[in-house]
Structure 1
Amino acid sequence: MRAVIRAGALALIVGTATVPPAQAGDTQGDFMVRVLGTVVDPDTDAAVSANGVGIAGANAEVSTQVIPALTLSYFFDSNWAVELFCCFSKHSVDGKGAIAGLGEIADTWIFPPVVTLQYHFAGLGPIKPYVGAGVQYIHFFNEGTGANALGASSVDIDDAFGFALQAGTDISLGQGWYLNADVKKVWLNTDVTWNNTALGTVKADVDIDPWIISAGVGYRFNLEDLFASRTTAPPK
């Protein structure tokens, strides 16, 4: 919990440091920063084996977490933008089905940036819905054995890469400020290996497929205004 609080504080500091003075706010600006509260809800399915032999009925589940997050968006014009979403999160992996009695069988920190190309719908006044598509990369680090009922000496989780779809809306509050709600669905797969267990080498082929649901506040402005160097009008 302390790590999550520290991550949230860091996100707020970064977001605040990135936001320019209030006079730079522009509802048609070319850059937006959002600070969000985010639910990461994996839709997990796994095939588990020991020494290459499948364990019938065995499954695994990755925990749901609520975390702070930050997005950075660059607008090419009034319709098209590219967004970077990122955060840090810690999850547990629990045995399910035939291995449910093992409880927590791993835990890990993740760094899961998502990059999407977005289309923003114009002409709806202060309500600005959008859709997007892109990719997510998840780096797993500080993997642990959890409650370790498997008796593993270590756990290795392969980094994952997957496809993402997105839908959301920004609601203008004026002077460049927005409320935001956003949903992403990602499809990705990873391999988990438990080393030196009582069953030998245990592996799981895991579909994580998370829902990423966010809400928060955004600030839109023009990058050139930060340096008083604008030579062209902002996107309209």
Structure 2
Amino acid sequence: MKKLTLMATAIAAITVSTPALAGDAAGRWQVKMLGSAVLPDGKLDKVLVDPGLPAGTDTKADDNFVPTASIEYFITPNISVETICCLTQHDVDIATGPLTGGQLVADRKIIPATLTVKLHLPTKSGLNPYVGAGPAYFIFFNEEPGAAARSLLGANKLAFNDKVGVALQAGVDVALGQSGFGLSLDAKRYWVRPTAHWSNSSGTEVLATRHKLDPWVLSAGVAYRF
């Protein structure tokens, strides 16, 4: 995690300190502004502390649409390193079983800190398809027990453990001439299994679960390379 944070900080610092340059379709740096659909799974992977959930109970996290920024450095014309900045918010509801519709998690906010190494296969037509992979560190904060967790379990506190995962990505950049401007389409799939802990006013843990968060993040937007 320390290496991931240091590398992302270094990339951001270098970008800020680099003088403004004319756009260049073959430049070393690329920044993107994207709109992203964050589509998590959220199914139960394991119940660690069970208060007696009915058989067949499962969960689902809701989707969200958020702005996303990325910074990318091209080590060679075919290999780059990219980090993204994104904040997304989700609820988790009971999706199946007798308690269907009950809310377990309200307004959970997530920063999916991600660093990927990408392989590019540019073409003469200006299309630059790529694939990538790398580590991700999911940071959770401001999570609150949902209405069902409060009424059925007496929970008034909720904590998610920050969690390391992995991400795969694929996409394409489309250069708009040699100006450095372009369009971008990107798809990422994450695999991450965070745990959640609900407790009551006396501090007793009333429910603990592990979830298959595993979101898809589908993005489209503009790019500038220099």
- The TM tier, using the shorter chain, reads 0.7 to 0.9
In the alignment, what sits opposite 2:105?
A: 106
Deviation at 1:19, TM superposition (A): 9.7
For 2:123, the equivalent position in structure 1 comes to: 123
Distance in 2 of aligned mates of 1:218 and 1:101: 42
Cα distance between partner residues in 2 of 1:102 and 1:152: 17
Q: Deviations over 1:99-141 (max 9, x none)?
A: 5345211121111121100001023421110000111111000
Find the counterpart in structure 2 of residue 32 from structure 1: 30
Equivalent pairs counted in the alignment come to 203
> Are 1:171 and 2:174 counterparts?
yes
Among 161, 171, 181, which residue is 2:164 paired with? 161
Give CA deviations for 1:59-113 in whole Å, capped at 9, x if unaligned. 1111110000000000011100000012111110111222534521112111112
Corresponding residue for residue 64 of structure 2: 65
Q: What secondary structure sits across from 1:179 in the alignment?
A: strand
Aligned in 2, Cα 1:81/1:62: closer, same or farther, shift over 3 Å? same
Q: Which residue of 148, 151, 166 maps to 1:149?
A: 151
Where does structure 2 lack aligned partners over 5 or more consecutive residues? 1-15
Determine the C-alpha separation between the residues in 2 that align with 1:144 and 1:40.
20
C-alpha deviation, 1:57, in angstroms: 1.2
TM-score (norm 2): 0.82
Distance 2:176 2:166 in 1: 32
Identity across the alignment (%): 36
Residue 200 of structure 1: how far off its partner (Å): 6.1
Residues 54/94 of structure 1: CA separation in 2 closer, same or farther (3 Å cut): closer
TM-score (norm 1): 0.79
Letter of the 1:82 partner, please give it.
Answer: V
In structure 1, runs of 5+ residues without a counterpart are 1-16, 222-236
What is the aligned-residue RMSD (CA, Å)? 2.3
Q: Which whole-Å CA distance do the structure 1 matches of 2:89 and 2:118 have between them?
A: 28
Deviation per CA, 1:213-233: give whole Å up to 9, x if none. Answer: 000001000xxxxxxxxxxxx
